[in-house]
Amino acid sequence: MKICRFKDGSDEVRIGLIRSDAELLDLTSAGITRLQPLLESEDPVAELSRIQQEGLPSIALAKVQLCAPVERQEVWAAGVTYLRSKTARMEESEFSASAYDRVYAAERPEIFFKSLAEKVVATGEPVGIRRDAKWSVPEPELALVLNSRGRIVGYTIGNDMSSRDIEGENLLYLPQAKTYHRSCALGPWIVLGTPEAQAREWKIQITIERGGQRVFAGDTSVGQIKRSFEELAGFLFRSQVFPHGGVLLTGTGVVPPDDFTLQEKDVVGIQISGIGTLRNEVTVV
Ligand code: DO4
Ligand code: MG
């Protein structure tokens, strides 16, 4: 079951239930005007299954603007959860290599703050590359959607845009490499009710197009993530509270070659088999 935030010609954001590749059901008349109460409920899937029998109005997906599927949740990100991420980062920086090596094996994962909800970019909106960076990449990641009790209620697609030269220069620059204007995209919607074992079967694919030509494509499987989702979510919620719930990116397993950097107007498409596609053009910020 997929739920989204959307606009239909006005500034009002509404909640929709994706009915097919072409259509959504507008949940407004069923009294659902925000995601949070649904994500906090005991059984969102059962609730939506009941509501969708109520003859709700349907709208063509082509006619709506999808908004990022976050309201007030903080967005955090786990790192070095795939072997590919560990080796790429160890090659990127002699200075930081042992930190990446250690964190991959350590009990405590790397987790960092990524974005406020209001700064998250939706599918179809531009993602940013820093003007002071020389080596910028997208990071295609599965994102866990967590309620305020730390329960994983859904999944969406995340792009953890990163400046690898800034990160590689000094680990203390990580917040600047990771958290800047338009550095976090989420979408296109949230998939509810999938058990972790099933989500671990999903494939993650990324394509980058430049002037209509494909300049990079790569893929991995969610099953390659070294840690369980419960473990990552458990560390995020340790000694921390999220009254509005949270989103946790689970790390990247696809790294473009070292001579590749994003450019203005590149188009990044990230597809996760059980979810859909997050697509963003690149802009310099
Ligand atoms: O410490 C570097 C960031 C790691 C990361 O973002 C990832 O592995 O996805
Ligand atoms: Mg990442």
Nearest bound ligand to CA 184? 2
Predicted pLDDT of residue 68: 98
Predicted pLDDT of residue 202: 98
C-alpha dihedral sign at 121, 127, 132, 134: positive
Structure token pair of residue 269: 């498409």
The verdict on the CB of residue 85 being under 6 Å from ligand 1 is yes
Nearest bound ligand to CA 104? 1
The verdict on the CB of residue 252 being under 6 Å from ligand 1 is yes
**pLDDT per residue over 48-74, tens digit each?**
999 988 889 999 999 999 999 999 999
Torsion, Cα of 96, 102, 104, 107 (10° steps): -140
Structure token pair of residue 224: 């390659």
The verdict on the CB of residue 160 being under 6 Å from ligand 1 is yes
Average pLDDT over residues 93-116: 93
Protein residue with its CA nearest to atom 1 in ligand 1:
79
Check whether 189 has a pLDDT greater than 90. Answer: yes
**Three-class DSSP category at 265:** coil
**pLDDT per residue over 111-136, tens digit each?**
999 999 999 999 999 999 999 999 99
**DSSP assignment string, 33-74:** --HHHHHHSS-HHHHHHHHGGG---EEEGGGSEEEPS-SS-E
pTM attached to this predicted model: 0.97
Pocket probe for ligand 1: among 98, 141, 162, the residue whose CB has the most ligand atoms within 8 Å is: 162
The verdict on the CB of residue 253 being under 6 Å from ligand 1 is no
Pocket probe for ligand 1: among 85, 91, 102, 165, the residue whose CB has the most ligand atoms within 8 Å is: 85
Strands (E) in 181-275, as ranges, are 184-192, 203-210, 213-221, 246-249, 267-272
